[in-house]
C-alpha cells in the first residue's frame, strides 16, 4: 500500500520475522493429558477470555447439540474433589483434581452419576439444604479418564443447554486458557478487527469519547479508511473491537493475544492465558466500559488505566502510549491471533493534525474530581459514602443531584450520583437519610433501590446510628428508599386442591416470586420433616421418591423475602 512505500527495508523485514514467529501458539501446558469431556464433535459456544459482564469467561462453553442429557466423561485420571449445587453460577458442577497439578471443572450439569448423586442427596438431607458445596476426599470418588461422571444440562446461570468446562491450576485455582491444552477444535479462521478506537491519553477515558475508525479490506490489506488518520491529541492510546471465529459455527469468540507496533517497535501487547478469579472484575478496566454501555461495542485497550492491575500486559516504557508530538506520520500495526495461531494484521498511519499547539492547563470545571489510588469521600448532610483507593480505574468528575418526589411510595428523596456509566472495582457503603416520619412498623421493611441504565438493584436497608440507612452497591445511579410489605407469592404450576390424589405424578412444581426485595430462602416440609426441593430460576420442584410413600401427606412450603416477609402454602394430598 502507498503508506508503506517509504518504510525502511529493515522495518519490513522485522515485521515479517514477527509474523513468522506469530503463526503458532507455543504452550507449556501438556498437549495430550486431557480428553474431551463429551464424545461428540467439539463445537464451542464460548471460549476462554471472552469479555462477559463483570468477568472474563473462565473456560469453554461446549455445545451439546441443543439438548440436555448427553453423557459427560472425566477428562483425565483423578478424583472428584468438590461438588456444588446452586441456582446460579455453574449450577450443578463437578470438580476433578488430577495428580499433574490441574483441576477440571464441569458445569451446568443435569445430574450426577448414580453413586455421586446418592451421596450428594444424603448430604443435602443432613444439612437440610438443596444448595450445597461439598469437599470430597481422594478415596471417595476416584475416576479414570473417559469414565462417566454426569449428564449435561441447563442448570445455574445459563441461556441454553451446554457444558461449561475449565482447567485450573490446582494450587491457586486460577483458570487457564483451556484451548492451550491441545483440544481438537477445528479453527482455521483468523480473528477480525472491526474498529479501532483512538483515545487522548492526556485525559481520563471517562471524560472523552474515542475516535472510532472502521477497518476495511482494501487491495488485499486490512487498513483504515482513510489510511492516514489525523488526530488532535499529542499522546494517544488505542483500543480494538475484535472477535474470533471458528470452523463450522456462527458463534463469535474472544481472542488470545494482541500486539501493537509503532514504526516496527512493540508498544504494548496483552495475552489472555491465565486470569485469577480475584482479577476477573478488571475486565471492566481492560475494555472501554463507558462506550460498551453507551453503544454496545467492546474495545479492548492496549493501555492499562491507572487503576487496572491485570497482569496480562507487556508494555514499553510509554505504557502503551504513542507520542505524536514530533509531527510526523507514525506507521502503526496491530496483530491479533487466536489460540490456534490464526493471525490478522491491520496497518495504518496516524499523525498529529496540523496547527495543534502546546496544550495549556485550563481551569478545572469539575467541582468534585475523584481519582484512583486514594480514598474519595462524599460527606453531605443527607448522604455520605467513600470509595476505597482501589475502586476507580481512572479519573471521574463526580456530581450529585437531589430530587424531592411527590410519589408517596418513596420514603426518601431521590439521590442521583453521576456518572452512572463508570465501573467500580470494589463496592461502597452508601449512607442516606430517609424521610423522618416513617411509621415504626415499616422500619425493618425498608430497602434502598438503585436505578441506572444497566440494572435495578434492591438492597435491604440497615439502620445505622443517627437515623441513617445504609447498604452496599457496586455502581452509581439513582437511589431512593421504599418499604417492602408484600410477602412472596407461591404459585402451583399444576392444578392442586385439598385431598388431591397424586399417585401417578412424577413431580410437583411451584413458582416463587417477590415484588421488591427478592427471595431470600425457602423451606419445604413433608409431614413435619424437611423435604428436598430443587430450584431452577424461580421454580422449585420435588421429584417424588422414597421420602413420600403411599398414603396421606401434608406438604408445607415456607418462602421468605430479604426483609423477612413470609408466605406459607399447605397442601394435603394422597400418594
In a domain, 250, yes or no: yes
Q: What is the CATH number of the domain that holds 124?
A: 2.70.70.10
**What was the pLDDT predicted at 415?**
97
Q: Cβ contacts of residue 280 below 8 Å, gap of 6+? A: 54, 55, 56, 58
Q: What is the CATH number of the domain that holds 503?
A: 2.60.40.1220
Distance between CA atoms of 231 and 212, rounded to whole angstroms? 11
Same domain for 247 and 307?
A: yes
Same domain for 468 and 550?
A: no
Q: Which of 334-343, 362-371, 544-553 has the lowest mean pLDDT?
A: 362-371
Least Cα distance to 559 among 463, 480, 492 occurs for 492
pLDDT band at 506 (very low <50, low <70, confident <90, very high): very high
Q: Which three cell numbers stand for residue 89?
A: 453460577
138 three-class SS? coil
* Last residue of one domain, picked from the residues 324, 352, 380: 352
Least Cα distance to 330 among 229, 413, 220, 237 occurs for 229
pLDDT band at 490 (very low <50, low <70, confident <90, very high): very high
Per-residue pLDDT tens over the stretch 58-102:
999 999 999 999 999 999 999 999 999 999 999 999 999 999 999
Q: How far is CA 466 from CA 431, 434, 444, 469, in A?
A: 11, 11, 16, 9
Distance between CA atoms of 469 and 48, rounded to whole angstroms? 41
Q: What is the CATH number of the domain that holds 413?
A: 2.60.220.30
Place of cell 425457602: 522
Q: How far is CA 408 from CA 411, 413, 435, 502, in A?
A: 7, 11, 11, 47
Q: Is residue 322 within 8 Å of 238, Cβ to Cβ?
A: yes
Q: Is residue 321 within 8 Å of 314, Cβ to Cβ?
A: no
Same domain for 310 and 176?
A: no
Range of the domain at 397: 368-483
Same domain for 87 and 233?
A: no
Q: Is residue 488 within 8 Å of 565, Cβ to Cβ?
A: yes
Least Cα distance to 300 among 372, 210, 207, 362 occurs for 210
* Last residue of one domain, picked from the residues 452, 483, 514: 483
Expressed in angstroms, the distance from the first to the final Cα of the chain is: 80
pLDDT band at 21 (very low <50, low <70, confident <90, very high): very low
Same domain for 229 and 288?
A: yes
In a domain, 24, yes or no: no
Q: What is the CATH number of the domain that holds 204?
A: 2.70.50
In a domain, 459, yes or no: yes
Same domain for 165 and 50?
A: yes
Strand partners, 541: 509, 534
Q: Which three cell numbers stand for residue 499?
A: 385431598
The answer to whether residue 319 scores a pLDDT higher than 80 is yes
Q: Where are the beta strands (DSSP E) in 17-161?
A: 44-46, 51-52, 55-56, 60-63, 71-73, 78-85, 92-97, 102-112, 132-135, 142-143, 148-152
The answer to whether residue 227 scores a pLDDT higher than 70 is yes
Place of cell 413433608: 526
Q: Which of 35-44, 228-237, 446-455 has the lowest mean pLDDT?
A: 446-455
In a domain, 1, yes or no: no
The answer to whether residue 10 scores a pLDDT higher than 50 is no
**What was the pLDDT predicted at 360?**
46
Same domain for 115 and 245?
A: no
Same domain for 191 and 171?
A: no
The number of beta carbons lying within 10 Å of the beta carbon of residue 342 is 21
In a domain, 6, yes or no: no
Q: Is residue 423 within 8 Å of 289, Cβ to Cβ?
A: yes
Per-residue pLDDT tens over the stretch 455-483:
899 999 999 999 999 999 999 999 999 99
Per-residue pLDDT tens over the stretch 200-221:
999 999 999 999 999 999 999 9
What total of structural domains would you count in the chain? 4
Same domain for 274 and 202?
A: yes
Per-residue pLDDT tens over the stretch 131-153:
999 999 999 999 999 999 999 99
Q: Which three cell numbers stand for residue 357?
A: 499547539
Same domain for 236 and 95?
A: no
Same domain for 411 and 526?
A: no
The number of beta carbons lying within 10 Å of the beta carbon of residue 9 is 7
Same domain for 274 and 323?
A: yes
The number of beta carbons lying within 10 Å of the beta carbon of residue 272 is 23
Residues in the chain: 575
In a 13 Å sphere around the CA of 373, the CA atoms on its Cβ side amount to 8
* Last residue of one domain, picked from the residues 433, 451, 483: 483
In a domain, 529, yes or no: yes
In a domain, 13, yes or no: no
Give the mean pLDDT of the chain: 93
In a domain, 418, yes or no: yes
Amino acid at each position: 500500500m502507498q503508506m508503506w512505500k517509504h518504510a525502511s527495508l529493515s522495518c519490513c523485514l522485522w515485521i515479517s520475522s514477527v509474523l513468522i514467529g506469530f503463526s503458532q501458539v507455543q504452550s507449556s501446558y501438556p498437549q495430550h493429558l486431557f480428553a474431551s469431556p463429551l464424545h461428540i464433535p467439539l463445537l464451542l459456544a464460548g471460549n476462554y477470555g471472552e469479555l462477559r459482564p463483570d468477568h472474563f469467561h473462565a473456560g469453554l462453553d461446549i455445545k451439546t447439540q441443543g439438548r440436555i442429557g448427553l453423557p459427560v466423561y472425566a477428562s483425565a485420571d483423578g478424583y472428584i474433589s468438590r461438588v456444588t449445587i446452586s441456582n446460579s453460577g455453574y449450577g450443578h458442577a463437578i470438580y476433578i483434581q488430577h495428580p499433574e497439578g490441574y483441576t477440571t471443572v464441569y458445569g451446568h450439569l443435569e445430574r450426577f452419576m448414580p453413586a455421586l448423586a446418592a451421596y450428594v442427596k444424603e448430604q443435602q438431607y443432613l444439612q437440610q439444604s438443596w444448595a450445597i458445596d461439598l469437599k470430597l476426599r481422594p478415596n471417595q470418588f476416584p475416576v479414570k479418564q473417559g469414565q462417566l461422571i454426569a449428564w449435561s444440562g441447563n442448570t445455574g446461570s445459563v441461556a441454553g443447554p451446554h457444558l461449561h468446562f475449565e482447567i485450573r491450576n490446582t494450587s491457586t485455582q486460577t483458570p487457564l486458557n483451556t484451548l492451550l491444552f491441545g483440544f481438537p477444535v477445528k479453527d482455521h479462521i483468523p480473528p477480525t478487527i472491526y474498529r479501532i478506537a483512538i483515545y487522548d491519553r492526556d485525559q481520563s477515558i471517562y471524560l472523552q469519547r474515542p475516535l472510532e475508525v472502521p477497518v476495511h479490506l482494501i487491495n488485499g490489506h486490512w487498513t483504515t479508511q482513510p489510511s492516514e488518520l489525523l488526530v488532535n491529541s499529542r499522546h494517544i492510546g488505542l483500543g480494538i473491537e475484535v472477535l474470533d471465529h471458528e470452523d463450522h459455527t456462527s458463534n463469535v469468540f474472544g481472542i488470545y493475544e494482541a500486539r501493537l507496533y509503532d514504526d516496527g517497535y512493540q508498544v504494548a501487547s496483552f495475552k489472555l492465558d491465565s486470569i485469577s478469579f480475584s482479577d476477573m472484575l478488571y475486565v471492566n478496566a481492560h475494555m472501554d466500559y463507558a462506550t460498551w454501555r453507551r453503544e454496545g461495542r467492546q474495545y479492548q485497550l492496549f493501555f492499562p488505566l491507572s487503576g487496572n492491575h491485570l497482569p496480562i500486559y507487556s508494555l514499553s516504557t510509554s505504557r502503551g502510549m504513542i507520542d505524536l508530538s514530533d509531527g510526523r506520520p507514525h506507521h502503526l500495526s496491530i496483530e491479533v491471533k487466536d489460540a490456534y495461531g490464526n493471525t490478522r494484521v491491520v496497518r495504518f498511519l496516524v499523525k498529529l493534525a496540523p496547527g495543534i499547539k502546546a496544550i495549556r492547563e485550563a481551569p478545572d470545571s469539575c467541582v468534585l474530581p475523584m481519582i484512583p489510588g486514594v480514598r474519595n469521600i462524599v460527606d453531605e448532610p443527607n448522604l455520605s459514602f467513600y470509595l476505597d483507593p482501589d475502586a476507580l480505574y481512572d479519573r471521574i468528575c463526580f456530581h450529585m443531584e437531589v430530587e424531592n418526589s411527590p410519589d408517596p411510595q418513596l420514603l426518601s428523596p431521590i439521590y442521583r450520583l453521576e456518572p452512572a456509566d463508570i465501573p467500580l472495582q470494589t463496592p461502597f457503603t452508601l449512607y442516606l437519610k430517609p424521610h423522618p416520619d416513617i411509621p415504626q412498623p415499616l422500619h425493618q421493611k425498608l430497602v434502598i433501590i438503585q436505578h441506572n441504565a444497566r440494572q435495578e438493584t434492591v438492597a435491604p436497608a440497615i439502620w445505622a446510628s443517627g437515623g441513617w440507612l445504609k447498604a452496599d452497591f457496586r455502581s452509581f445511579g439513582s437511589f431512593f428508599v421504599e418499604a417492602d410489605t408484600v410477602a412472596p407469592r407461591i404459585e402451583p404450576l399444576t392444578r392442586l386442591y385439598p385431598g388431591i390424589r397424586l399417585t401417578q405424578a412424577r413431580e410437583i412444581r411451584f413458582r416463587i416470586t417477590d415484588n421488591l426485595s427478592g427471595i431470600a430462602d425457602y423451606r419445604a416440609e413433608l409431614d413435619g420433616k424437611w423435604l428436598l426441593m430443587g430450584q431452577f430460576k424461580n421454580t422449585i420442584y420435588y421429584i417424588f421418591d422414597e421420602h413420600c410413600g403411599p398414603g396421606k401427606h401434608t406438604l408445607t412450603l415456607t418462602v421468605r423475602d430479604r426483609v423477612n416477609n413470609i408466605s406459607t402454602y399447605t397442601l394435603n394430598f394422597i400418594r
